[in-house]
Chain A
Amino acid sequence: MTLALILVPLVAAALVFAVPANRWRPWLMPVASLGHSILVVFALQGPPVRALGGWLVLDPLGKIFLGFVSVLFFICSIYTARYLNLGHERPNRIFCVCFLLSLSMMTLVILSHHLGLMWVGMEATTLAMAPNIYFYHTPRSLEATWKYLLICSVGIAMALFGLFFLAYATLHTSLEPTLLLDDLVQHAPELSHPWLRAAFVLVLVGFGTKMGLAPMHTWLPDAHGEAPAPVSAMLSGALLPCAFLAILRVFHICNAAGEGAFSREIMVVLGLFSMAIGAIFMTGQRDLKRLLAYSSVEHMGILVFGIGIGGLAVFGALLHVLNNGLTKVALFLSAGNIQSAYGSRSTEDVSGAIRRLPITGTLFLAGFFAITGSPPFGPFLSEFTIVNAALGRDQFLAGALFLLLLAIVFIGMGSTIIPVVQGDPPEAAAQPGFRDGFLTSAPILVSLALVLLLGVYIPPPLESLLREAAAFLEVKR
């Protein structure tokens, strides 16, 4: 069962590779993705999932991430299949294979309770995404791919160094050196604290590079800007949160070892810094997809900030993973439609999106309100929970800065997005070409509807899962 979760997309990738027809091949992705989702539903409801002698375990935290990634992937795969067919003759074999490989490797990252294995999965997702960023074979996408590949690989290598430090921390205990999460959490108080601290910093910097935390985010706007829209959506919605999960794994150990305060402080500062960098670069940004990319930097900052605050904010941060992911998918896919219609993603060429593409334009505007934390959408609820917890825990300065940065982001992002949506479309874009279609707008609509749902009503099973996961992280000794 557990292995099937990883193997189904892997086998699907092999099948997709064998399909000769460029036109039909992309449609295997939603099928494989649906299969993955069905398995996930069983895994979430069934008995505890455990395989390979405790190397793969589905814990409460994993349940949230796995369910979320699977849903997100399904939504994106439908859009992607249609998107690739719009691209006509461009060969998509490698694209489809890599897309499915990344699903398989993300599942591996989520299930791994052996941190070495998790690292292998994380590096594999990085490599699997690289050819897809270079899909259009333009000089700009080449530059983006090179930066992505090199910076992320070096970052993830530093995370490996950090994991080795973590294993070294066990040498001071009665324990055999290990990287098994369960053993490490259980014996956390005995671990050597200097090594543990160093490990946390290296892992935060390393996986933080992959997650897009400032100042290690430099690859992110380029990759998100140049990749095809569904790839940007997957990067932003699913892949960055997987790196976040990897950081949470080591944070979990630190917390259990009584080093929670140390790691929290760093996370609050890094979170606020990422939000600030996001806010600065969003203001006056002329490239729609780069704008959304900087918004990802900001929201990754919100996630680590939430964990750093602790208490109820952990619940808020985990909820924000879902809210941000779904909203980002909606925004990136809408931006993809806009780019297809206008042949550009520069704000100088794009205006009147609501007239040119009524459905996409409206959803894009709604997505903007959602991501900037306007009620009644989900991000409002999760951001409110985080700020509430910050104030409740007497972190007034941090809470105030958080709110200030959110306000700056709202203004900065709005000044770019409102003119894009409103007004009249330019002459050049008025010609018939790309129009809103069912398959290019339904995935956006569904993800925004989910964001709206999460804003007004969190289904009880999800809520208890989130509480369970937050409690799982906040080990009491």
Chain B
Amino acid sequence: MVPLLDPLLIVALTLNFVALGVSRIRGVINAVALQGVLLGILALFVHPAIGTRVILLVAVTVGLKGFVIPRYLVHALREANIQDEVKPGVGSFMGSLSLGAVGTGLAMVFSDTLPLAEQHKHLLLVPASLATVWTGFLMLTTRKRAIMQVLGYLLLENGIFMFGLLLLEATPFLVEVGILLDLFTGVFVMAIIIHHISREFASTSTEHLTELKG
């Protein structure tokens, strides 16, 4: 397809590692936001026929994923008075980075075995999507901070969005915007809950949320 596509995807993949390795929450927010902007721009390259629909979609995606959501998260970070430190739960940064690397490698190998359509055979889009979903899960499970789990959810969603780029015809503009709106509302509600968590427990670590069992 377009020569610029793969380099952009490699940048997006690198951002996965930045998100896993950076020690400040703001750094993670920025990495996820930048990835969101890249995804929006990718839509332009994947689709040769650029109409108003694609341009609108790019605008909404870049606006929400790149600016509105990250701004809002930074705001929540400040409001909730959260220490700007990631604190990985299981193992260390090295641990999650190596798990991320292994997952990304496996995603590459695995995508080769997938029965992809002819036009998608040599595209980096599918492995990049799987690797990003994996990174999202990694962040969701190994980070204790509630806000980091939200960022993990956003990475997961970014990964799914990458796969969705192959199928823009299947998801009409209205649905695409609906999905993005749900994502934003989700993050919005999550941030409110985080605010309450920090007020209730004077910390945003989900380690305090262990009251309910059995």
- Measured CB to CB, the residues of A under 8 A from B are 114, 116-117, 119-120, 123-124, 127, 130-131, 134, 137, 139-140, 142-147, 149-150, 153-154, 157, 160-161, 164, 167-168, 170-172, 176-179, 192, 194-195, 221-222, 225-226, 281, 285, 287, 290
Residue contact A290 to B214, C-beta cutoff 8 Å: yes
Q: Does B105 contact A (CB under 8 A)?
A: no
The residue from A116, A147, A176, A179 contacting B209, defined by CB atoms under 8 A apart: A147
Instruction: Check B167 for interface membership: any CB of A closer than 8 A.
Output: yes
Cβ 8 A contact of A157, one of B115, B117, B153, B208: B153
- Report the nearest A residue to B119, measured CB to CB: A171
Q: Which residue of B lies closest to A222 (CB)?
A: B212
- B80 in contact (CB, < 8 A): no
**Complex interface bits, B165-177 against A, C-beta within 8 A gives 1, otherwise 0:** 0110111101110
B82 interfacial by beta-carbon distance below 8 Å: no
Interface flags for B89-129 (1: CB within 8 Å of A; 0: not) read: 00000000000000000000000001101000000000000
Task: List the B side residues contacting A134 at CB < 8 Å.
Answer: 193, 196
Q: Is the interface of A mostly helix, strand, loop or mixed?
A: helix
How far apart are the CA atoms of A146 and B191 in the complex, in Å?
10
The interface residues of chain B lying within 8 Å CB-to-CB of A147 are: 209, 212
CB of B171 within 8 A of CB of A150, answer: no
Q: Which residues of A contact B193 (CB under 8 A)?
A: 130, 134, 142, 145-146, 149
Say whether B209 contacts A172, CB under 8 Å.
Answer: no
**A431 CB, nearest partner CB in chain B, Å:** 28
Residues of B within 8 A of A161 (CB): 133, 160, 163
B5 within 8 A of A: no
Cα A177 to Cα B168 in complex, Å, equals: 8
Docked complex Cα distance between A172 and B114 (Å): 13
Which of B170, B175, B179, B210 lies at the interface centre, i.e. has the most chain A CB atoms within 10 A of its CB?
B170
Q: How many residues of B contact A (CB 8 A)?
A: 43
B: residues with CB less than 8 A from A are 114-115, 117, 133, 140, 146, 149-150, 153, 156-157, 160, 163-164, 166-167, 169-172, 174-176, 178-179, 181-182, 185-186, 189-190, 193, 196-197, 200-201, 206, 208-212, 214
Q: Are A178 and B169 in contact (CB under 8 A)?
A: yes
A226 CA to B209 CA in the complex, in Å?
13
Tell me if A168 and B166 are in contact (CB < 8 A): yes
- Find out whether the CB atom of A154 lies under 8 angstroms from the CB atom of B156: yes
Contacts of B196 in A (CB 8 A): 134, 137, 142
Whether A120 pairs with B182 at a CB distance below 8 angstroms is yes
Closest chain B residue to A138 by CB distance?
Answer: B200
Show 29 residue pairs from A and B whose CB-CB distance is below 8 angstroms, ordered by the A residue.
A114-B172, A116-B170, A117-B175, A120-B179, A120-B181, A123-B179, A123-B182, A123-B186, A124-B182, A127-B182, A127-B186, A139-B211, A142-B193, A150-B150, A157-B153, A157-B157, A157-B160, A161-B160, A164-B160, A164-B163, A167-B170, A172-B117, A177-B170, A179-B170, A179-B171, A195-B115, A225-B212, A281-B214, A290-B214
Identity of the chain A residue whose Cβ is nearest the Cβ of B200 in the assembled complex: A139
Tell me the bound Cα distance from A90 to B175 in angstroms: 37
